[in-house]
Amino acid sequence: MKQRCIIITADDLGLWPEINDAVMAGYDAGIVTSAGLRVTGRESHSAMVSASMRPGLGVGLHLVLCDGPAVLSHRHIPNLVDTSGYFVERPLEAAWMYRKRSGLREELKAEIRAQVEKFLSSGLFLSHVSGHYNLHLHPTVLSILKELAADYPISTLRKPCAPLLASYQNAAVPHWERVAERVLLRPVLGWGRVRSGLFPGADRVELLSPERPITEHGVARRIATVKSGVTEFVCHPGSLARQYDGIGEGAVVTSATVRNAILQAGVEPISYRDIAEGT
């Protein structure tokens, strides 16, 4: 029987100090094994320093190509960001902008390269690439990542992302708009996933808990029923965003109950770095 492995990934590292503290506490508690670093986050430098002191934490690049700032200025990518250096806010608008015939590919490639290089400048091992709103699986973005993989250590990707779509959406947006956005984005990202076979990744990607509020016993039950292969559980401990239970997830990733559940379930906690290195 195939071994059961789990990756517990905390996204948005580097965005706020509360997230940095919660992610490091989760790793120190033996629960969080990977993290997605936003190099454009205002607390990214302190996150890099903290992560460098924890070599066992698999840190990947959480690409931001929507609803956030770019590394490059408006002067360098004038058609991609506004004058303050911010991308468009809505992922569906970004997905339409980045289509093959939009003429933005070279600017998009320059920005993705800049985010990769800023990550690597930290000296951290690039364990994987994921993306805000899963836009790393947009066909145009994916084709750029394949090209950049010839020059940079991009080897592992978060791929089966459909279960995460609803959780990423802004709770302030009307429900019908969120539903329409999910319906339209799903085939775009699904096509990207089909074309991402070059990159290894987890067999399945799920939320650490779809329940709100999150509970340690609910998470323990999910861990106990993990299937064979590699399952990635994604969470956002310490996040202040309305769509996440940042406080609850911060408590869960430091919970002795959850740690005991991992031990009793007989699952192997691994990180994306283990996949990248083939270990």
AA letter at 22: A
Which single residue is written with the structure tokens 């670093």?
37
Mean pLDDT of the residues in the chain: 90
Q: Where are the alpha helices (DSSP H) in 13-88?
A: 17-28, 44-52
Residue 178: which residues within 8 A CB-CB, separation 6 or more? Answer: 166, 169, 170
**What pTM, to 2 d.p., does this model score?**
0.91
Helices (H) and strands (E) in the chain, counts: 11, 7
Q: Among residues 132, 179, 150, 155, which one has the least CA distance to residue 276?
A: 155
User: Cβ distance 270 to 57 under 8 Å?
Assistant: no
Please report, for residues 73, 105, 195, 275, the alpha-carbon distance to residue 157 in angstroms, rounded to integers and kept in the order given: 27, 20, 12, 10
Q: Where are any strands of DSSP class E within the chain?
A: 4-13, 34-37, 58-63, 129-131, 204-207, 229-235, 268-269
Angle at Cα 47 formed by Cα 19 and Cα 262, nearest 5°?
A: 60
AA letter at 179: V
pLDDT above 80 for 172? no
Which single residue is written with the structure tokens 């309305």?
242
Report pLDDT for 169: 56
238: phi > 0 → left, psi -120 to 50 → alpha, else beta; which? Answer: left
Looking at domain 4-276, what is its CATH homologous superfamily? Glycoside hydrolase/deacetylase (3.20.20.370)
Digit-coded pLDDT (tens) for 59-105: 999 999 999 999 999 999 999 999 999 999 988 889 889 987 778 99
Distance (Å, whole) CA 66 – CA 69:
8
Digit-coded pLDDT (tens) for 35-70: 999 999 999 999 999 999 999 999 999 999 999 999
